[in-house]
Structure formats: structure tokens, C-alpha cells
A and B are shown apart, each in its own frame.
Chain A
């Protein structure tokens, strides 16, 4: 097949699949939370309540799209797009199966980190342009949280990079043929998961939007599809982080051959998405200073130690 055509189809395919997963996750999360809290959740529209997603979409598209008159209008309008664009760009380097990757860059991992840090602009710009004190506090928290946890996120992955000797995600997956990195890099894995929660500002680390104290934090003023973009961006973020956990620590597409590689990849990703939902159902939100203290006093030294030990062992065994 023509190579350009193949990549075009692949890009459109990734876009469609990821956006439908994000939409489906809205239903999935509500159902799962309900299950763990001994309720039914949305089960009226269609089989298992699946068409609820469609009903929600119709509702959100027809809501009044209100732009706060006291806001910084243009920044207010473009702010929600940042997170969606950045996260969708991040999927470009994720290898779904052998040969099934949009761009196998030799800086793939760094590209992912760059995109996840750009996605955070939605929070600051949305919160700042809203001209609302709750939004501003949410944006402030978001900025501090994201910039702190980015540091550990990057550092926790350096162990993986040292072991696989490459930033390319395809090479990282191939290096896990003998053993998944979750075993030798367990500390890195734990730090990456915690940082992933903070980076996608999901519960329990959803302090930028803490509804009990800040109403909805940085997106208090947003309504209609603009709010929907933040929402979709959050679910896309969960999917991307889960896909990265599967790729970096659980062997990506690798698995016993009775299932095709791409199925293994999505199965692993699905497990981590479910884990994200379960954590939301299980854990309370920490106080803001506790979050920052955990980051700088526990995770930073731990991730530095992890890099040091991994590097030393690698050098020792390399001879």
C-alpha cells in the first residue's frame, strides 16, 4: 500500500478510536463508580445505558454557550482546545502494535513529556482568562501542581530509558521481550503512576477543580461544548497516561500469541483506565500542601535515587 495513504488512514483511525474511547469513558466511569458504590448508575438509555453518552452529547451541544462578559474573550475561547490538541498529538508516538505507530521518533518519550506539559496550558489560561477568584485559585494550584509533578514524571522514566538505551517507544517495547520493566523499575512505575494522576489532574489530585472548595476551579465559568472540551481532554489524558503505563512498564503490545498484539495493547490500557476510575472511587483528596510536600520531599529524592541506582547497576553489569 502507498505509504502516505497508510499513514493518513492510521492518523484518522487513531483520532476516531481515541475520541470514541474518551466518549465511552464518560459512561464507563459512571457505571464503574456506581458499581463500587452499590448503585446502578446510568442504565436506562439503550442496552446497559450505553446510549447515555449520545444523550449527554446532544445535551452538551445544545446548551447555551456562555462567554463571561468580564473575561479575556479570545484567550477564554481558545483555552479548552490546548489540552485536547496536545493530548491527541501525544498519541502520535504511542506504538499500538508492531508497525502501527504514527511517528516512531527517536525522541518519542520526550515528545510525550512535551505534549503533556503543553496540555497544562488549558488550566492556566482557562482559569486566568475567566477573571474569577475561584478560577484563579484553581489555575494557581494547577500551575504549581503540574510543574512540580512534571519533574518527577520525567525523572521516573529515566530508569526505563537507561535500561532500554533509547527514547524511542518502539525500542522501549522491544527491550521488554525478556522481562517487563515494571519488575526492575518498580519504583519508577509507582512514581510515574502518581505523577500521571497529578498531571491529568484526576481525583485524588484534582485540586485545581476541587468542587467542595472552588466550585469547579479553573472551569467554573465554562459551559456548553467549551466545558465539554475540558471534559474530553481529561478523559483523553487518562487514556494517554494509561497507554503510556502499558507501553513503558507492561510491555506494550507484547503478550502470548493467542491474541493479536493490538488487542493486548488495548487490554492493558483498559486495565489501567479502570485503575484510574477505581482510585477515584476509593481515595479522598489530600490537602494542597500535603500534595506539594509529597512531591518534593518524597517523590523527588526517590526518583533521583532510582536513576542513580539503575545507572550504577547498568554500568556495573555492562562491564
Chain B
């Protein structure tokens, strides 16, 4: 199991690096999907099959599809690739690399000093996740629901068809002709 975990982790890391360095956005998105799948395998291996399935259904299956959808709408061509190349110049790398290095050192320190939470190889069935969500973490679920509701209302407001007024003196701003 441990060796499988490390293989999946390695794939996730390599794929994530590829996501950042690709100039073609479709290739970057594909690597992102691979990275998410690898993460799902890791979740599965440490005994969280429900989270693994959700990772694939929601992130790889829905959010990434929306990304692809937007990319198709934008119709990016050679120009975008050129722009990406310019952005990936060496100066742009310094600061993010520094921040990542600090995080890496922190993780290394935590592992070496043995302050990580112990891992018990217990599998958590989906029913238990549901019970926890609706009891211990109820406030989080409710907050997420409020946020999504606001998002839906906002999207409705943006996409709402403007009122169609027949009389020429009563024409509203931006009405369809």
C-alpha cells in the first residue's frame, strides 16, 4: 500500500509541475486532470474512498469540464501560447519559488520532528462521512449552502433577460429591439 501511495504522490507532483510549465492551455488542463486523479488514488489508499470518488466526480468530472468549456468559448490561438511563454520568463519564477520553498522546508521540518498526526489505516465508509457532515460540521455545510445560493441568485441576475417594452417612449436601457 505504501509503495502505491508514493507512486501516486509522485505522479501528482510531476503532473502539477507540468500544469504550471505548459504553454498550451489544453495540455495544462489535461495534466491538471491527471494530478486530480492521482490525488483521488491517494485519498483512496489512506482509507477515504468517499472523498476519492467526490474528487473525481466534482473536480475531474465537473470543474475541469467547465474549464474546458470556457477555453472552448475563448478560442485561444497561437497568441495565447506566445503570451504564456512571455509570462513564464525566469524573473517571474523567483518569488513563487521562494514561497514554495518555505512551505517545503516547513513540511520537511514537521516530518523530521515527527509532529504529524498518526495514520491509522481505518477505512471510513460513506455513511460515516455523511453523519459527521450533518452533525459536527453542520455549520460548514450551512455556510457553503448560503454561498452557493448567493452564487445561483447572482448568476440568475446576470443572465436574466431584459424586460421587453413595446412602447417606444417606455423603452428601458438595453432592452431588446
Query: What residues make up the interface of A, taking CB atoms closer than 8 Å to B?
Result: 72, 75, 105-107, 110-111, 113-114, 117-118, 120-121, 124-125, 127-129, 136, 139-140, 143-144, 146-147, 150, 154, 165, 167
Hey, which chain A residues are within 8 Å of B153, CB to CB? none
Can you list 21 contacts pairing A with B, beta carbon distance less than 8 Å?
A: A72-B24, A75-B27, A106-B123, A110-B50, A110-B54, A110-B57, A114-B56, A114-B57, A118-B56, A118-B60, A120-B65, A121-B33, A125-B26, A125-B30, A128-B68, A129-B26, A140-B72, A140-B73, A143-B69, A147-B65, A147-B69
Residues of A within 8 A of B33 (CB): 121
Task: Report whether B72 and A106 are in contact in the complex, using a CB–CB cutoff of 8 Å.
Answer: no
Complex Cα–Cα for A124 and B126 (A): 31
Please measure, in the bound complex, the distance between the C-alpha atom of A118 and the C-alpha atom of B59, giving whole angstroms: 11
CA A146 – CA B125 in complex, angstroms?
Answer: 28
State whether the Cβ of B140 lies closer than 8 Å to any Cβ in chain A.
no
Contacts A121-B33, A136-B72; is A107 near B65 (CB within 8 Å)?
A: no
Measured CA separation A118–B57 after assembly (Å):
8
Count A/B pairs, Cβ under 8 Å.
75
Interface of A is mostly: helix
In the bound complex, how far is the Cα of B65 from the Cα of A118, in angstroms?
9
Please give the residue numbers on chain B whose beta carbons come within 8 Å of chain A beta carbons, in ascending order: 24, 26-27, 30, 33, 49-50, 52-54, 56-57, 60-62, 65-66, 68-69, 71-73, 123, 125-127
Q: How many Å lie between the Cα of A222 and that of B56 in the bound state?
A: 28
User: Majority SS of interface residues in chain B?
Assistant: helix
Q: How far is the CB of A59 from chain B (nearest CB, A)?
A: 32
- Whether B61 pairs with A105 at a CB distance below 8 angstroms is no
Known interface pairs A124-B72, A140-B72; A154-B57 also in contact (CB < 8 Å): yes
Q: Report A-chain residues with C-beta under 8 Å of the C-beta of B60.
A: 114, 117-118
Nearest A residue to B69 via CB reads A143
Complex contact B61–A143 (CB within 8 A): no
B26 pairs with A143, CB closer than 8 A:
no
Q: Which residues of A contact B71 (CB under 8 A)?
A: 128
B50, A128: Cβ atoms closer than 8 Å: no
B72 engages A143 (CB within 8 Å) = yes
Within the complex, the shortest CB–CB distance from B23 to chain A, in Å, comes to 13
B residues less than 8 Å from A127 (CB atoms): 72
